[in-house]
Structure formats: structure tokens, C-alpha cells
Structure 1
Amino acid sequence: MKNSLLLLLSVFCFSCHQKENKVAPVQTSEPVITKQEEKVNKQIGDTIFMNFRNEKELFTAEGAIDSIHPRTYVKFKNEDLGELKGNLVPTTGKGNIRFNQIIFPDNTSDGPFGMDLNVPLKQKGNYIIVVGHSQMADNPFWGKFRIELETIKSNK
């Protein structure tokens, strides 16, 4: 009984191992054209990672606030000292949306602000900006918005 079980197990193991068929790559005289990947800052869940700047050296992204994600966290890395300017534009034109808070690399924070942001960048590192509606106003904002961030280097 043990011998037949061992024989059956070994046959099963050998039958599971299949040989790979290696095929040589086909060579053509035509050049291969690859589509250049568009670099876009996208919202994933409740967070927008600002990894790419556009041709004007601005961080831009489309975001959304809804009942599941009443706040959006915008994360970016700053390498230079200077100034940060930001702008929020709701797709509806108007809305109860603002920059609620900015969290600096040393975990200190400032805020609230309005739909425009102008803050000195005195530290290098990772920043987090919290976007949401004002708790002091009626009609919370639900919908899409566009955010633009510009970092201006200081001359020092």
C-alpha cells in the first residue's frame, strides 16, 4: 500500500512539471513605436499624489469629494525653499470647498485657508494639504474639482 501510494505521488509530481517552449524572438525591419505614457497626477481613494509637473512647472490634478471621502489629501515633495501658491477650482464654478490645512514635514500645521493658498516653504520634505468643505458654512461640497500648486524657489 505504501509503495503504491509513493509511486502514485511521484507520477503526479512528474506530470505537473511541464517543459517550457522557448521561441526565438521575431526580428523585423520596421521600428517599434511605443506610446509615450502620459504623466498625470491622479486621485487614488482619498489621496492625490503630486508626482508630476506639467509644462508650466505646475502640479495639477483632478480630484473629487463625496460622502465616502469628505476630505482629499494632496501629497507632494518639496526640494527647495521658497513659496507655495495653490488654487482650487470646482467644476461647478462655485462651491463650499477650501484648503483646510497644510501639514509641514516636521508635522506642524497651518490653516484653514480659502480657495487660494499662499504659504512660505521653509522646510524640505513631504507636505500634505487637506482639501474639504468649510464646517462653518452650509451645503458641504460634493463633486469634482481641479487643484493647481506652484512652488516658487527663493533667491537665497
Structure 2
Amino acid sequence: MKNFLMVTLPFLLFSCQQKENKSTTVSSSDSIQVTQNAEESKIENRTENKQTGDTIFMNFKNEQNIYIAEGTVDSIHSRIYVKFKNEESGELNAKIMPPTGKGNIRFNQIIFPDKTSDGPFGMDMKIPLKQKGSYILVIGHSQMADNPFWGKFKVELENKKVAE
């Protein structure tokens, strides 16, 4: 009986290792397909500003020179951070549009490139942008009101040049 176990044990160990090696091999056609899918997703991301986690990166403007994105506020992400870059001074016109038209959602704060901040605001915001750099808008519900907002919303940002 001992001899039988001594002979079969190495075969079992060897066969298990072969299965693991076979499952980890990738053919060249599979890797080509993966890179094509990654390139397609990069192209899609170039045309849309999407929420990733609790942050919306505003990188692309539409034909009217307006940043537009959809976001979602839920129990995990009760505050959404909208990041955008400003290259020239002007006035920021920002709007939050929930699907129902109303809700307990607002711009809680704007953080300027020099790390100063201002707020709170409402669902609409007009503020001069005098600094160049990265801005952050914090969107969430008002702590002073009942019924926090949960769900999807749309946000629009437009930087209008101010004639001086």
C-alpha cells in the first residue's frame, strides 16, 4: 500500500501543475483583442465626460463650448467632485439638472487652484474665474434640508469670456 501511494502522489502533483500552466497561457490573438477593446474605450472616453467613483473629470467640451456630464449621487458617494481646467479668465455658469427638475442637490463648494474655496451655492452658480489652473466643484445635498438627493443628475459648465 505504501508503494502505491509513493508512486501515485508524484503523478497527482505533476498533473495539477500542468493544469495551472495551461490556464495561464494566452494566445497572441487574445492579446490583440484586449488591446483593441482598450483603444475603443479610450476613444469613447474622449467624447464623454463620465463619472468614475466619486469624481467627474471634465475634459471635453461639446460644439457649444460647454462641458456636459451625467453623474450619480448614492449612499456610497454622497458628494461628487467635478474637476475641470481653466485656461483663461471669465465667468463660470454652472447648472445641476436632476431628472425631476427639483431636488435637494446643490453646488456645496468650489475649490480654486490656489486651494481657497467658496460656497455654498444652489443648483445654479455664476462665479468669476480669475485664476488659471484646476478647479474642483463639490456637488451634494444640503445638510440643512430634509430628504437628501439620491440618483442621477446632469451637470453643465460654461466659461464665458468677460469683456474688459
- If the TM-score is normalised by the length of the shorter chain, which range does it land in? 0.7 to 0.9
1:103 pairs with 2:111: yes
1:84 pairs with 2:92: yes
Q: Identify which of 40, 63, 75 aligns with 1:67.
A: 75
Q: How many residues align?
A: 123
Alignment gaps of 5+ in structure 1: 1-20, 22-33
Q: For 2:86, give the aligned amino acid.
A: N
Deviations 1:123-142 (A, max 9, x none): 00000000000000000000
For the aligned residue pairs, the C-alpha RMSD in angstroms reads 1.7
Match of 2:154 in 1: 146
Q: For 1:61, give the aligned amino acid.
A: A
What is the distance in 1 between the residues matched to 2:105 and 2:68? 17
Q: How far is the alpha carbon of 1:153 from its aligned partner?
A: 1.6
Alignment identity in percent? 69
Deviations 1:100-142 (A, max 9, x none): 0000000000000000000000100000000000000000000
Q: Where in structure 1 do 4 or more consecutive aligned residues deviate above 4 Å? A: none
Query: What TM-score does the superposition give when structure 2 sets the normalisation length?
Result: 0.72
Q: How far is the alpha carbon of 1:154 from its aligned partner?
A: 2.5
Q: How far is the alpha carbon of 1:48 from its aligned partner?
A: 0.1
Match of 1:42 in 2: 50
What is the distance in 2 between the residues matched to 1:82 and 1:154? 5
Query: What TM-score does the superposition give when structure 1 sets the normalisation length?
Result: 0.75
Alignment gaps of 5+ in structure 2: 1-27, 29-39
